[in-house]
Amino acid sequence: MALLRLASAVPSGLRALLVLRASAWACLLCFTTYTERVSICRMFAGLQGPRIDQCKEALTAAFQGLSDMEINYEERSHLHDNFTQMTLSLQEEAAAGGSFEVAFPAAAEKMKRAILELKKGIQEVARRFRCQGCYSTLCDLPLDCPVQDMTLRTRDASYFRDMPRARGSLARIRPVQPTHRGTFCCVIQHDQRPLARLYFFLNVTGPPPRGETELQVVFRKVLRWAPRDVEMIEPWRPSLDELLARPEALTLGNLVLLTAVIALVSATATVLLWMFCRWYLSGD
């Protein structure tokens, strides 16, 4: 019977949710659309005017205060639901005549508490989703992955079939590529007699498909793009040749109208020519 313990070589304090650099303002861009954010400001400040620009700046400032946020990759759907609920709450508050100067900081503080309550990834789900760039990432080393400390007893010897060994105070752990699992054993000896053994059974997750991270970053940049100037559609001004080339242009009514126009032009030209001739002959 062996003692199987899942442990971490990195202090548990480093496993907190607030690590690395990924702003919650970037989380807002990942889980809300440009249309939703503009719609909220229009409900608070109206369709046009300086107030809507102030509203956008207030929304940015409120969520920039929540910096260094990182979430578990498996919890991104729950975070998306939280942002959806936040959007609906802001719309209700705007409809009730509330002020965005008060509503936005309160929503950001509530979202911070919601992110802190999300579960942390353990081993297989240790893959992280970073709001800064809206992409997922893996821990660099197996022992850097968040793990759960637990003690249990087992009669299953399959856990100990592949047991790498090392002498001295350092043990070599295989790189993250590819996905693998195995048991690592630490032994404390005195006079070449073992006093205690500590087993680490680790599941090491593999990397995402090649190029996935870059593709996610490019895709999110496209989603966050918003046109600054509204493109004006130029009206279609067809020429006479283009109108006559269209099958639906040669109707009976159009033919009558075209004949009348040609006759009017011909009569006008004839009268002008006759008047010119009289003027010329009268001079003689």
DSSP 141: S
DSSP 231: P
Nearest to 213 by CA among 129, 123, 121, 115: 129
Instruction: Tell me the two tokens of residue 277.
Output: 């001739």
Cβ contact 59:9 at 8 Å: no
- How far is residue 66's CA from residue 113's CA, in Å, rounded to a whole number? 10
- How far is residue 255's CA from residue 262's CA, in Å, rounded to a whole number? 10
pLDDT number for residue 250: 65
Cβ contact 103:90 at 8 Å: yes
Q: Which residues contact 107 (CB under 8 A, 6 or more apart)?
A: 62, 86, 89, 90
- How far is residue 76's CA from residue 34's CA, in Å, rounded to a whole number? 19
pLDDT number for residue 116: 81
Query: From the first residue on, what is the mean pLDDT of each consecutive set of 10 residues in the chain (284 residues)?
Result: 32 31 61 88 83 87 70 81 90 89 90 82 63 73 60 62 56 57 70 72 68 77 68 66 67 78 91 88 72
- How far is residue 22's CA from residue 129's CA, in Å, rounded to a whole number? 10
Instruction: Tell me the two tokens of residue 58.
Output: 């207030």
pLDDT number for residue 270: 92
